[in-house]
Each structure stands twice: as C-alpha cells, then as structure tokens.
Amino acid sequence: MPMYAVIGGGLSVLVSIAFLGSLFGALSFHPLALISSTLVFCGVSIGASALFGKIYGIYSHLRSALITALILSLIFTPSFEVFTLMQYALIAVVAQASKFVVAYKGRHIFNPAAFGALLGGLLSLSYASWWVANPVLIIPTILGAFLVLYKTRQLQIGELFLGISILLITIAALLRGDTFIVAIAAIATSWPIFFFAGFMLSEPLTLPPRKKQKVIIAAVAAVLISLPLSIGEFNSSPEFALLAANLVAFILAFRQRQGITLTFRKRRTLTPTVQEFIFETDHAVSFEPGQYIEITVPHKKEDGRGTRRSFSVTSTPGENELRMAMKFYDPSSTLKMQLKAIAPGTKIQTTGITGDFVLPKDAGQKLLFVAGGIGITPFISQIAASKIEGRDITVLYLAKNADELAYRTQLDKSGATIHYFTADADKDMNHESRLNEKTVKKYVTGQGFDAAYISGPPAMVASAKHLLKNDIRHIKTDYFSGY
C-alpha cells in the first residue's frame, strides 16, 4: 500500500467518522456543513493543482492535492454558508499555489495546507480552528498517525515531537495551576499534536533528508506548537509552528534539496525479474551511497499505487549517470510497466535523493551487509565507494535461486568478501535462502563486525535483525515492500 494511499485513506476515515459524529450530535456542526466544506476544499484543490501544473509546465500530482484538501477540511470549521465556502475556496487555491510558487529546484518549501491556513488567517479570510482535535476523533487520529509515521519511516521523529510537546504542554498547565489529569485530558481532546505529527510534520517533501536534521525539525515544531507566542496582534498557531519548522528544514538541507530531471538512456537485464535503468542527469547530483531517489512517472490508467515511487541509487557519486534497479512482479504496478516501456530520451522528474541508510564516517569500521533479493541495490553503490576508501566489508547475499542474484559479476570483482545463499546452490554457494542461527554462527559470531546493514523484504529484515542483535551492536535497516 503506497504512502499516498495510507495518508489519503487515513484522512478519509477521519472525515467519515466526523460525519457520523455530527450526524448523531456528538459534534457541534451540521453534517451537511462538513460535506459542503469538504467538497469545496477537494474540488477547488484538484482544479487549482491541475491549473497551476499547466501554467508551470509541471506534472500535477492530484493525489497530493486531495490530501491537502482533506487536511484543510479537518482544520477549518465545517460550514455551508456561501460566503465562508468562498473563503475556503480561496484558501484552497493559495495552498495549491504554494507548491508551485514558493518552491526551490522543483520542491515546495512549505506544507501547502499549513501555508494556506496561515495566509488565510493573515488575510482575514478565515482562521483554522483545528477542530480535528476532539474526543470523538482522538482514537482514530492516533491510529491513523501511527500508520502514516510507520509507512513513511518517521516513527522516531513523531515520537520525539510528541514527547517534547506533551512534556511542555503538561509543564505549562501545571504552572497555571491545573492538575496533571486535567493537563493530560486537554492534550487528548484539545491539542492537535497527534494529527499534526502524523499527517503534517511527516510530509516527505518538506522534511530534510538526514535523521539528525529531522530531530532538529521535530524539536522546533514541538516547542513552537506547545508554547504559543504573541507579538503584537500576531499569535502563533500550529500552522505557524509547522511553517517555521519547514523553513528551518529548508535552511538545514539547502545543499541537498534538488529536483532532478532524468533522461532515460538505456536498460539492462540483471536477472529474469530485475532490470537496471540508466539515466543521464541535467546537472551534477550530490548524494551519499545507500540513499534512494523518488521519481514521478505520469501515466494513464494508473493503479492504486500511484505515479510516485522510490528506488535505491546504484550508481556512485561523481558519475555522469544515475542508475537504479527494480524487480518486476507478475503483475507489476502500472508505474513499473510504464518504465519498462519508456523509450530512450524520455524525461522523468524526481523530487531529490534522500535517506539515512549510509556508510559510517569512520572508514576503519568492519561492516557486515545482509541483502535479501532486490535488497542488494543500496549496497551496490556502497561497495563501489568502499572499494575506493579501502573499507573492510563482508556481504551475505540471499536469494530464492541463483538466477536471481543481481550484480554477481560486479560483486565478485568488488574486493569485498561475498557469500551467496540460494535454495538451488551450486558449489560456490550455500544451500540456504534464509539467514538462520547456523549461518550467523559460521559467518558472523566472533568476526568482530562493528556494524551491520540489512536490506530486503520487511520480514527478512526483521528476522535478520533479530538473529544479529546478540553479535553486532549497531544495526541499520532498509526494506523493500515489493510494489
């Protein structure tokens, strides 16, 4: 299930529960008011996004526009008054415009919903009430936020933001004379921090690429949302807190922010189910081995998995081309099938290269790489870079059969110690396709590895991490969901 489906589905569930709540009198607004405002936000947002896309000659991601619209419908008080709905329509236009106008190298700087909300208030159109923070929606909001943070791999950032926010809000309440119980009850029913963390702070395009940078962003947002500021007639708000954090993120990751135009050059078959795609770039690309790139491939009759996807970069920094490999399933997503059919010279837009699955700064560390199937891709770039740096690397590469071992020739010449594991093993391989205690004892225990990197399907990654935890202290993971 792709990220946009998880986020959009979670927001749709919240709107649906809110409708039922209003229908049975649990919420103060009329159910028709929620329907009216939601339809206005959605219709205007999709139309405005498509229009700005044509004006700027940029592909308009309508799923993203719909997500922004649903967020707006959950933070602006529902209404069916014509004048209010007209104001909401303008706010929706402003939100969508921010993705095209307030952008740098093809990526918007600010969360569009927060931008529309703040500007709507400054222009006295309407103020965001953040009504989504109410007792009726608290449980589904927490569940939805957890799923989004899990899917976007931002659970630690969400936990940090919530931890700081809850601590600061509680301290402020106690200093005002409230009891601890009252403070916690207010957090659960009046503060939109769970919705904020799951559905807004986690937006990938406005977050910086590295974990340390994200920690700073989470802290900045938590402080600003928990301790409101007042300067003259201006009062800070959740939308202000998010936009301030977005600005800090832009400054911290200024060098890494880059929209890249890729021109398809050729493809090569690595295994019966895996192909590598080779692209030319429109400018020199800066990244670290092990990071991934998000690409956008517009196409007709797209399936539910959408037009955006992330793939590990298999080329190394400094090369004049960018490579990525992908596994084709039966059936594969419509995006992959579109890629499989593209002609040389076709241009593809990206939103930049990101990720924390990178090599340690200390090149003297002894490293263990564990790859399952297509999970070998981030290691290809890392192994090539490590050969130059003289790193000590051992690779355990597991696949269902020998035919599915991608990059085998390249790995054999890499200088790293490679151990292959397949169910149909020949004399050069181990007759196993899964990591087990016997394998760990033979190849890992007592070998003095400083860190382990694991990449592959989620179940394989979880199993390997469990098996290695007693032998290796520092373990980094990456996983491929198989879309």
Summarize pLDDT for 99-147 with one digit per residue, the tens.
999 988 777 899 999 999 999 999 988 999 999 999 999 999 999 999 9
Residue 433 has φ and ψ, to the nearest 5°, of: -120, 5
To the nearest 10°, the Cα dihedral for 56, 61, 62, 64? Answer: -120
Burial of 359 per CB tally in 10 Å (0-12, 13-18, 19+)? buried
pLDDT band, very low/low/confident/very high, at 483 (cuts 50, 70, 90)? very low
Q: End-to-end alpha-carbon separation of the chain, Å? A: 8
Q: What are 173's two structure tokens?
A: 């309440």
What are the distances in angstroms from CA 200 to CA 119, 254, 338, 360? 17, 21, 30, 30
How high is the pLDDT of residue 481? 56
How high is the pLDDT of residue 87? 97
Q: What is the pTM of this model?
A: 0.79
Buried b (16+ CB within 10 A) or exposed e, 144-165: bbbbbbebbbbeebbebbbebb
CA distance 192 to 198: 10
Is the pLDDT at 38 greater than 70, yes or no?
A: yes
Answer left, alpha or beta for residue 406, where phi above 0 means left and psi between -120 and 50 means alpha: beta
How high is the pLDDT of residue 115? 97
pLDDT band, very low/low/confident/very high, at 257 (cuts 50, 70, 90)? low
State the CATH class of domain 366-479: alpha beta
Q: Is the dihedral of CA 204, 209, 212, 216 positive or negative?
A: negative
Contact 199, 148 (CB under 8 A): yes
Mean pLDDT computed over 276-298: 86
Q: What is the fold, at CATH topology level, of the domain defined by 261-354?
A: Elongation Factor Tu (Ef-tu); domain 3 (2.40.30)
CB atoms within 10 A of CB 344: 10
Is the pLDDT at 211 greater than 90, yes or no?
A: no
How high is the pLDDT of residue 417? 93
The domain spans of the chain are 3-252, 261-354, 366-479
CA distance 201 to 443: 42
